[in-house]
Amino acid sequence: MDRLAIIGGRELYGEVPIAGAKNSALKVMVAGLLTDEPLILEEVPDLADVRQLTTLLQNHGASVEREGSTLTVHAKDIASTTAPYDIVRKMRASFNVLGPLLAREHEARVSLPGGCAIGARPVDLHLKALEAMGAEVELDEGYVVARAPGGLKGARISFPFVSVGATEHAMMAATLADGRTVLENAAREPEIADLADCLRAMGAKIDGEGTSTVTIDGVPRLHGATHEVVADRIEMGSYAMAVGAVGGELFLKRGRLALLGAADGILEEAGLTLKEENGGLRVTKWGRPTRGTSVQTEPFPGFPTDLQAQYMALMAMADGTSTIRETIFENRFMHVPELMRMGADIHVEGRSATVIGKRRLKGAPVMATDLRASMSLIIAGLSAEGQTMVSRLYHLDRGFERLDDKLRAVGALVERVPEE
């Protein structure tokens, strides 16, 4: 098992290629189950989660081939409609094969996903959406067993609260349903729009993505297509915050301000400059200290929960006091004790954290507790005095492609070292 050794204090200069969004790539890969023709996906990151989902798709009979950053999913025949526990438990996004299998084969048996370190994430909204479309759903020894003997039917589905996963799941299932499906209080994240673009390229009829009401008119079948996965806004925001922590200038290839939502204005308020240019986003910060700025996580276009830990690391080195309120997931302050090992002054009460900024943290051995927390510790380490050693890198490898290579290329002193 590897660790990441970081010597802090170096500004970052150069160009960083932003990979395709992990959260989008996983869903468009699953969409490949909706057609018996090849789905060619470009800019798919090479991540542990992508490899795990590849194993599940192959279990269902799909061939999955990679050439560079291009992935081809071809589910000519569905060999199995069962998604086994041993695969699904390792990654929550695996559960989303349920809707496409049900839509195409009219039956599916999918293990409930395992627990999540950042809090409970139930699947009841997913199941209620499928039931609204006529599916018969029952639980059997830890598996969801769903049947739609006559196929799924269009329905009006109003989500009681915004859920990205349930919105994506219902969208995919509705593409092959008989009639019109209307999703109310739908999620508005860029990954929703990216999935809609992919499904449309496959022949689906979808309208309203990016708003709170999405309409899908079912079609008899979908066909193959080529789709480029949208740039990863979380990777983009993380590198921007790294610039905020240490100073310098990075050009983030494929980056776009629109993908950041409220994070754009928050970072500008904290003292960074973000400018969209041809082919990407330029992020700069020279001289002046970062300003303490308060945030609250919210569904898009609000400040994303997946940038909360990274922003806390930035605020730990800011000038002034900031408050960070987490409204999406419980248990998402597990990185706080690790940042405090590096000298951060953070006080947590419930779902709010007060961060009293310091000009410099000190390197220390720290341990990642989840994917985004790992990036938080790396941002802190890039600015800290001395050496920081981040362990449990398997969390990082789930969501950041070649991070150590990318950081070295722009001047950081980082190196993967084996666990002692």
- Residues belonging to the binding site for phosphoenolpyruvate are 22-23
Please name the helix (run of DSSP H) or strand (run of DSSP E) that holds residue 235, with its range, or none. helix 233-246
d(C-alpha 188, C-alpha 190), whole Å: 7
Q: Residues 6 or more apart from 191 whose CB is under 8 A from it?
A: 21, 23, 24, 27, 164, 168, 230
**Cβ contacts of 195-198, under 8 Å, gap ≥ 24:** 195/24, 195/27, 195/28, 195/31, 195/168, 195/171, 196/171, 197/227, 198/28, 198/31, 198/39, 198/41, 198/225, 198/227
d(C-alpha 219, C-alpha 374), whole Å: 43
**In this structure, what token pair is assigned to residue 250?**
């990075």
Using only C-alpha atoms, the chain has a radius of gyration, in whole angstroms, of: 21
| Binding site members for UDP-N-acetyl-alpha-D-glucosamine | 92, 121-125, 306, 328
Respond yes or no on whether the N-terminal peptide bond of residue 301 is cis (omega within 30° of 0).
yes
d(C-alpha 386, C-alpha 364), whole Å: 8
**In this structure, what token pair is assigned to residue 11?**
């500004």
| Binding site members | 22-23, 92, 121-125, 306, 328
d(C-alpha 169, C-alpha 185), whole Å: 14
Packing angle, helices 48-59 and 22-31, rounded to 10 = 10
Phi, psi of 198, rounded to the nearest 5 degrees:
-65, -45
Please name the helix (run of DSSP H) or strand (run of DSSP E) that holds residue 197, with its range, or none. helix 190-201
Place of tokens 């994070």: 263
Place of tokens 């009219």: 106
d(C-alpha 390, C-alpha 68), whole Å: 29
Q: Which of 79, 116, 258, 417 is catalytic?
A: 116
* 116 included as an active-site residue: yes
Q: Give the single-character DSSP code of 256.
A: -
Distances (CA, A) of 216 to 37, 120, 237: 21, 29, 31
CB atoms within 10 A of CB 403: 23
Catalytic residues: 116
